Every structure is written in C-alpha cells, then in structure tokens.
Amino acid sequence: MSTLRLGWRWAALRNGFLDATAYRVEFLIEVLGQAVVPVITQLVLWYAVFKLGGATEMAGLSYSDLILYTLTSILFSQIRGGDHDFELAEMIRTGTLSNYLLRPAGAVEFVYIRGSAPKLFLAGVCLVVGMIVGAIFGGIHPERMPAAMLMAFIGNIIHYQISAAIASIAFYWEEAYSVLMVKNLFVSLLSGELIHLGIFPEKWKWVWESFPFYLYVFGPVQYALGKWTHVEFFRALALSLVWLAVGWALVRISWGIGTRRYLSLGG
Amino acid sequence: MEPVIVAQDIRRSFRSSKKEEGKNSTWKYLLKPEWVEHHALKGVSFSIEPGAFVGLIGANGAGKTTLLKIFSGLIPPSSGTARVLDQEPFKRSLDFRKQISLVMGQKAQLWWDLPAVDAFDLLRAIYEIPEKTYRDRLGMLAELLDVQKLLNTQIRRLSLGERMKMELIGALLHWPKVVFLDEPTIGLDVLAAQKLREFLREFNRREKATIILTSHNMDDITRLCSRVLILRSGEMLYDGSPQKLTREGEKRLRVRLQEQPTLEQLAATTQIPIERITFPKPEDADAGDEGEGTLPAAYLTVNSQTLMPTLQAILAKYTPIDLGIEEQGLENVIKRLFQEEASGITKRP
C-alpha cells in the first residue's frame, strides 16, 4: 500500500506561496480589489433600500443585519476558489498539461495545492482578523471563527473539485472558458458572496440548498455571526464532507476519462 | 541485452475538423463539421538497446514528436505496441514516470517567477530524492552545464539558453533511465548548443541512460548519435548508423555544363549509374547554388577513387561553367531525402 507522500505537497505549497507573492503589490491589489468591490456594491444597495427607500426590514433582516453580514462575508469570500480551474482548462488546450502528467504526482492535486497556498495564507489572516474584530467590536463570535474558517476552506476544496471536473470539458471541446465563467457567476450568487441568501424567496430556497456553494461563504458567515446553532453548523459540515467525497469522485471520473482522450497538442 | 524501447507496428491517427474559406463554410463548420483523419504514424517498428543515444529525424509533421509522446505515455498508439522499460507507457504507472523524462524545447516546466533552485527542490520532493544525492546531482549537473551562479536567479531573468539548461537539469535530477529530448537546442546560439551537446554526451557516457533525441540541427545528430532513425510522413525511412547514411568516403560532384547533356548522356560519359546522378529542381537546389537564368547543375555521387576519372571524362567531352565538390554531410543527405518527398527528383527532360 502506498503511503501518503506529504513531502512534495509541502514543497508545492511553499513554492505556490512564493510564486503568488513574487509581486507583492500585485498580490495585495488583487486581494483588496476582490474584497472591496462586492462589499461596496452591497453597501450602496442596502443604503439605497433602507435609507433612501425607507424600508425597515427585508426578508426579516434589518439594515444593521445586512451590513454586518456584508462586512463579515469579506473574511470568507477571500477563501472561495481561485483561478486554477481556468489554468487547468488552459493546460489541456495548450498541451502544457503534458509536463504534469509525466511526473509521479497527480496533476489535478498538484495544481490545486500550488494555487491554494495564497488562499491558506489569507485564511490564516482572516481568521485572526475576525477573532480580533469579534472580541473588540462584537457581532462576530471569536470562538466560532476557527470552525467557520474550516468550513470555508472545505468549500474552497469542493469549489476546485467541481471546477476541475468542469475544466475537463476541454478534453472534448478544447475550450472550457465560457462554462467556467458561467459557473463562477452562479457561485458568486449562490454562495452568499453577492447577497444574503435569506433574501431569496422561500419557494426558491431549494435552489441554493441543492448546491454546495452556500457552504463557501453563507454558511461560515451565519455560524460566525451566531445565526446558526451548533447543530445546524455540524449538519452543514457533514454535508460539506459528503460534497467533498462527491467532488473527489467527479474529478477521478472526469479526469480518468479525459486524460485518455488527451492529445498533448502544441508541439 | 533486452531492448529498453520496443515499437511494433505503431500507428497513430488524429481526427480534426476542416474549415474552408468563406461565410457559408462558417455555418457549415458550425452545424455539420467535416472531419479529416490524419495518419501521423503508419506502422513504425524498431527496438533500442539500453544506453543507446539515438537520433530521430524527420521533416515537420513526419511523426517524431508523436512517437515521443507515445513512448513517454502521453498518448496511446491507435494500434500496435509500444513498450518502454518493459512497461506499457500509456498506463503511466508511478514506477514508469519515475524512470523516464521528456524534455520539449517548446514547453517550459519551470516556474517563471521563481529561482530554478526552488523548482528543483520541488522536483526533489516529487521524485523522493534523498537530500545528499540531490545536492550531489545538482552540483554535478550545474557544473557540467556551467550554471552554478544562476541557480538562485529568477527563471524569467535568464536567457533562452540558460533556461534550456535549467530545464534539462530539472528533467535529469531524478536520474531517468530513459530520456526523450524533443529539440533541446531549439533557439540556442552556437556556443550554448555546443555546451548542451557536450553535456548530453557526458551524461549518456557516465550514466548509461538511453537517450532519444529529435532535432532539426544535424550537428546535434552527427555529434551525439550512434544510430539514426529517419521518419518520413509517418513511415520509417532509415534505421542505422549516420556513417552508413552518409556513406563515408563518398562525395557529391556538382557540374554545370555549357552543353546541357541529358541524364543518359552524362551517365554514358562518366560510367556512373543513372541513379547516382540527379538534376534537382532549381527551387530545391542549395541556396545560392542556382540563380535565375543560370543553367541547372547536375550532381554526381562519386567516391575518392572515381572522382578524378569522372572529372577527366566530363572535361574531355563538355565545357564546364561551374564545378564543385561537396562532402556527403548528414545535413545534405537528409535535405535530399526531404526534397525527394516534397517534390520528387527531376530527370533531365
């Protein structure tokens, strides 16, 4: 039986972090840009609805509830996904996947570990920030932050697994960019990153509950803010582990079939 | 000795959609694409002994890279059998991947923004190379390629030649038993290419690794390979030593004559068999060999003993405008083989 070889995974993680932060200013702008733009959009929207429109409540949520949700979601939306799904599709299309297929390390796993390094770093930073902010200003439960962050990171893995399975379309169509883009738009909406999922009409609740996306941002935020009970959290965590297993199977099957069709184009 | 690489009647086809010019064809392409089957390899068979340094030559599209991809396990053959190190490459077993290496001159595998030494350290971990062995190998490879001082420089700051050297180090750190090199000297200057060749020769000699090299640079082949495989349109055209191919001692006599004799007349005059005399089309002749408006030259394959009698026979009967003797270099031989494929040899009308 082969043993789990941690050695290369650790080295890939380290190199991934060094690579992502080779241009520090670029890295910081990317992080801040991704965090600030959706938040400003939401803040403007809630201001318009509540202050200018005169609403006092929306789907049982007050202005301060939504503002607190929006600000807390910054801590978890940073962990959600990266661009490595696009990278996988591009590697298939251009033939650079060949370099990875020949190494005694799984190509999909390697790309994930390399790309997740900066996300892990951000998860650590956001965890600390969340705990400090919660302890000083309240709102966020500091003792719940580690578990909430764990769920967000499992969400990151599930997101990559689904993305990698979708990227394997490139084995058939050579290009998977549009499908991945559409997937990302749905994820932005259904993860709770753009809007609080409680705003969805009750009869449409099943839509976001049918996907694992709400476990990326909405679930962790709800738990960190004390809106979910421990039981609700652990039920969601168990569900995320099921999705993790489903994602693993999806990747195994899609890439197992896909790499048999791989043409290694491009010289 | 058991062969390390075996190819038995390997065939490989690719299917691609064909798009014609024009607006109507765009709709046709979208709704009902027409598929074209391209046969990259058409029944290739050979075997290679351990420790051999083999050159794989062919014009663009001859099937060289396809063959390397099959041997390295990237793609399967459509039919036939490929075996490397007694394994089926396309199964890509962990054991197989640890024993081979493929270097493609046009596909970089090092990290653009990191120093080479970081990428090498990752490869050390992937191939589970013990720390001391890794240090020794890296030291030796860096010294042979003269890049010790560049190991800590970001890859993107290196020149093309330096990057290629780093790629080669990365490909060899795990001491593969079989190395596939796809145009490793592409884009390199003369000095860098020479250094790389010296290194490859030394690595093959010291480590007894089996190396298959594809290159359009005949210097690479003549200086390194004891055996040459020539592919033409997916078929094996030649399998043997480079010396046999160039028929050592043979020369090419170029004559341009005022009288423009026919092939048969020239053969009768010189007593050289017709098949050893050619009149290449002007566009196939060597650069600068035949300008517009000049008479075409005849090429006669002669050896050292028949050179003088042939010349005397020609001079006795015809008035030469231009005479020249060329070595039967590998490059010339290959060039003629490719020209034969592209246009066919023209006989004097």
Look up the ipTM and state it.
Answer: 0.81
Is the CB of residue A34 less than 8 Å away from at least one CB of chain B?
no
Phi and psi at residue B100, in whole multiples of 5°? -125, 170
* pLDDT band at residue A267 under the 50/70/90 scheme: low
- Residues in chain A with CB shorter than 8 Å from the CB of B97 are 102-104
CA–CA min distance B322, chain A (Å): 42
Is the CB of residue A22 less than 8 Å away from at least one CB of chain B?
yes
CA–CA min distance A121, chain B (Å): 19
Query: Please, what is the average pLDDT of chain A?
Result: 87
Task: Give the pTM.
Answer: 0.78
- A3 DSSP 8-state letter: P
* B138-182 pLDDT per residue, tens: 998 888 888 889 999 988 898 888 888 898 899 989 999 999 988
User: Cβ contact (<8 Å) for B102 and A2?
Assistant: no
Residue B345's pLDDT is: 41
CA–CA min distance B118, chain A (Å): 7
* pLDDT band at residue B326 under the 50/70/90 scheme: confident
H-run or E-run covering A40: helix A24-46
Is the CB of residue A264 less than 8 Å away from at least one CB of chain B?
yes
Which residue(s) pair with B180 in the sheet? B102, B212
* B13-22 pLDDT per residue, tens: 988 777 677 7
Q: Residue A265's closest chain B neighbor by CA?
A: B66
* pLDDT band at residue B106 under the 50/70/90 scheme: low
More confident residue, A6 or B166: B166
* A124-147 pLDDT per residue, tens: 888 999 999 999 988 899 999 999
* A22-66 pLDDT per residue, tens: 777 777 787 777 778 878 888 898 889 888 888 888 888 888 888
Which residue(s) pair with B277 in the sheet? B300
Q: Nearest-5° angle of CA B140, CA B143, CA B149?
A: 125
Beta strands across the sheet bearing B235-240: B100-104, B178-182, B210-214, B53-58, B227-232, B235-240
Q: Residue B125's closest chain A neighbor by CA?
A: A8
Residue B347's pLDDT is: 35
Nearest alpha-carbon partner for B345 in B272, B292, B276, B256? B276
CA distance B266 to B255: 11
CA–CA min distance A180, chain B (Å): 22
Alpha helices per DSSP H over chain B: 23-31, 64-72, 94-99, 116-126, 131-144, 160-172, 190-207, 218-224, 242-246, 263-270, 304-317, 330-343
CA distance A130 to A124: 10
Residue B321's pLDDT is: 87
Q: Give mean pLDDT, residues B78-92.
A: 93
* A65-96 pLDDT per residue, tens: 888 998 899 889 888 777 778 888 988 988 88
* A181-190 pLDDT per residue, tens: 888 888 888 9
* pLDDT band at residue B73 under the 50/70/90 scheme: very high
* B180-208 pLDDT per residue, tens: 988 887 767 777 778 888 888 888 888 88
Q: A46: which 2 tokens?
A: 């809630």
